[in-house]
Structure 1
Amino acid sequence: MSSGSNGARRVASLLRPSIIDSGVCRSCQETLGRRSYSSAAPAIESTSASTAADPAVKPAYIINAGVVLSRPPQITRELEPFEKAFFFYQKRLNERLALPFTKYFYFKRGTPADEDWKKKIQERRTAARDIGKYNAYDSDAWNDELLLGAKESEPEHQIEALVQDAESTANATSQDTSKKEEIPRPYPRITEADKKNDQKSLDRLLSRTLYLLVQSKEGHWKFPSSPVESGETLRLAAERTLAQSAGVNMNTWFVGFHPVGWHSFNPRRSKADNATEIEAPGSKIFFLKSRMMAGQADLSVNTQGLKDFKWLAKEELAQYLNTQYYSNIKNMLADR
């Protein structure tokens, strides 16, 4: 045996620990036979060198740049029932702690303002309209908790109670009795796009992250992607892909220069390909993450033959994407 082969074995032993080594745990010993270490690098280099020298050898994969374009949440998420009840309990607790502070700090005894305050307390049984009828000086003052699912814990109910209180105060103090004061309500969390299920609108699911899907000319849904051209980096290819597919009428921001995930596709070979030994190259898509700041997707001038687009939440993507495609990209998407 030559000294060169002995040296190679010594190098390989350094790169790959022995299976019978007492310092290696049992689980690692079972997987050592399946691991691929850098000791195979010389074989890879010789293969790549022969590929570069032989122009007849075609690449096994076409490298593509993909873009995971997302619109971040615009509002806070919905509260859980327990969170609503606990928040309401804190409001009532604050009411109890604030009551010992004398009201005569605000109103002089016997004045009209003091009498008006006493009248409102009798009507409401509390100083705050949004926490329901509750009297901290009553015999039931200990019962300041709220049953799970009670309407008083719903933010919409609390907002309506506060708005009605403000309107009654404004109308009572207004000098123009012919006109009723109206306090503007906050915008609802459920938009018209939600009611119509308009999946092209960015005004739907405001508390969720939406992702841009495009439909190819063959009818397949995917993230925007295209092959990397000569001289391009993955980042430049992703920026070009987004402009060519969804248009330039969007203000977007790429999170980084490195991919967050990838998907490999190997086309099926037909009988004709097997007979002629022609093997079509596969496709590897490396996805870069990008954020949507303003604007909207526009496919009217796209150069990739795309037919349609949708803005979808994570759980909605599975209805349109290929099973293997979705399995490879789902873990790089935000749950909310």
Structure 2
Amino acid sequence: MSSGSNGARRVASLLRPAISDPRVCRSCQETLVRRSYATASTQASTETPSTAASAFPVVKPTHTIKAGVVLSRPPQITRDLTDFEKAYYFYQKRLNERLQLPFTKYFYFKRGTPADEDWKRKIRERQTPARDIGKYNPYSKEAWNDELLVGAVESDPAHQVEMLVQDAESTVNATSQDTSKKEEIPRPFPRVTEADQKNDQRSLNRALQRTLYLLVQSKDGFWTFPSSPIVAEETLRQAAERTLEQAAGVNMNTWMVGYHPVGHYVYNFRNPSKLATGPAGEKVFFMKSRIMAGQADLSGNAQNLTDFKWLSKDEISKFVKPQYYASVKNMLADR
């Protein structure tokens, strides 16, 4: 062996001492052991350079990738008040009635005028000019007792509206020149619709204070959000738009929110025959969408759907499987 090779070995031994060398501490010995893989990988890379330059293998998907649509109708009216909130707002009405007249009534109404007479009539009838707060005298010794028991009918907003409308009708009819015709003032639209009374879950004119979601029923009887497999060279948003059109028809004005999914659901097949011949299950990625107008129409749908419903979050849990609901419940609004 040449002297040059011996010199190279001496330099290597100085730069990288042996593990068994007593001059090497225990910590360094462990480090040298852990770093031994680097030398092996370097040798492997130098021996087979073609392996590193090879292309990545094409991995066949184990699940069918689907695009789902969470189509919702937002709330149309304010939420229902709790009994405590109703009693609190009613208390504020009576408190305002007690504090709103720091001056005598003749500061507002001249003696003997029709307005003054109307004021006196209202005071005699209900002890206050405000019909919506019930019988209450803000200037009596019991004026401090302006609270209301929780659940009293006077605290119901619908009752207050009805009292105000009746008061306006009585005033209009009393001052009307034509006494043969009774004037009627239009009432506000009710919060409970005809669809609510009939429990028509296909109607969008129900549960106006809640968010409703479109669910469809497959030919097997399962309820889910509309979904279908993604085809080649199709984005998730394009697949969701196509799915909604194929499932619920084109008679809806919808708006797709964003380009990214809001959640996903994974279903693994349990049938051994399916596992042997096809994918192991399904992965559904849900896109969020809103309906602006129109209605779902399943006639001629391309997915063999048999029925549809517009349901709130609480109602959805009664129709879908528990595993499915556990995956989608966080995507749904509580209201």
Same fold at TM > 0.5: yes
Q: In structure 2, the residue corresponding to 1:303 is in which secondary structure?
A: coil
Alignment of 1:140-289 (within 5 A): 140-270=142-272, 277-289=276-288
1:134 aligned onto 2:136: yes
| CA distance 1:92–1:5, change in 2 (3 Å) | farther
1:289 deviates by 0.7
1:119 deviates by 2.5
Partner Cα separation in structure 2 for residue 102 and residue 5 of structure 1: 102
Q: In structure 1, the residue corresponding to 2:58 is in which secondary structure?
A: helix
2:73 maps to which residue? 71
Partner Cα separation in structure 1 for residue 40 and residue 97 of structure 2: 84
Pick aligned residue for 1:3 from 25, 29, 38 = 38
| CA distance 1:59–1:132, change in 2 (3 Å) | same
Partner Cα separation in structure 2 for residue 282 and residue 61 of structure 1: 5
Residue 269 of structure 1 contacts residue 279 of structure 1 at CA under 8 Å; is this kept in 2? Answer: no
Pick aligned residue for 1:50 from 30, 49, 57 = 57
Q: Percent identity of the aligned residues? A: 69
1:4 deviates by 5.4
Residue 274 of structure 2 contacts residue 280 of structure 2 at CA under 8 Å; is this kept in 1? Answer: no
1:6 deviates by 7.5
* Per-residue Cα deviation, 1:9-53 (whole angstroms, up to 9, x for no partner): xxxxxxxxxxxxxxxxxxxxxxxxxxxxxxxxxxxxx9x93335x
Aligned residue-pair number: 289
Which segments of 5 or more consecutive residues in structure 2 lack a partner in the other structure? Answer: 1-35, 43-53
Partner Cα separation in structure 2 for residue 77 and residue 227 of structure 1: 37
1:115 deviates by 2.9
Residue 224 of structure 2 contacts residue 320 of structure 2 at CA under 8 Å; is this kept in 1? Answer: yes
1:109 deviates by 2.2
Pick aligned residue for 1:88 from 87, 90, 94 = 90
Partner Cα separation in structure 2 for residue 168 and residue 108 of structure 1: 22
Q: In structure 1, the residue corresponding to 2:290 is in which secondary structure?
A: strand
Partner Cα separation in structure 2 for residue 73 and residue 306 of structure 1: 27
Asked which structure has the greater CA Rg, the reply is: 2
* Per-residue Cα deviation, 1:58-87 (whole angstroms, up to 9, x for no partner): 420111100000111111111001100010
2:310 maps to which residue? 311
Which segments of 5 or more consecutive residues in structure 1 lack a partner in the other structure? Answer: 8-45, 53-57
Residue 195 of structure 2 contacts residue 205 of structure 2 at CA under 8 Å; is this kept in 1? Answer: yes
1:100 deviates by 1.7
Partner Cα separation in structure 1 for residue 256 and residue 224 of structure 2: 19
Q: TM-score when scaled to structure 1?
A: 0.81
Partner Cα separation in structure 1 for residue 73 and residue 205 of structure 2: 10
1:5 deviates by 5.8
Alignment of 1:297-336 (within 5 A): 297-336=296-335
Q: TM-score when scaled to structure 2?
A: 0.82
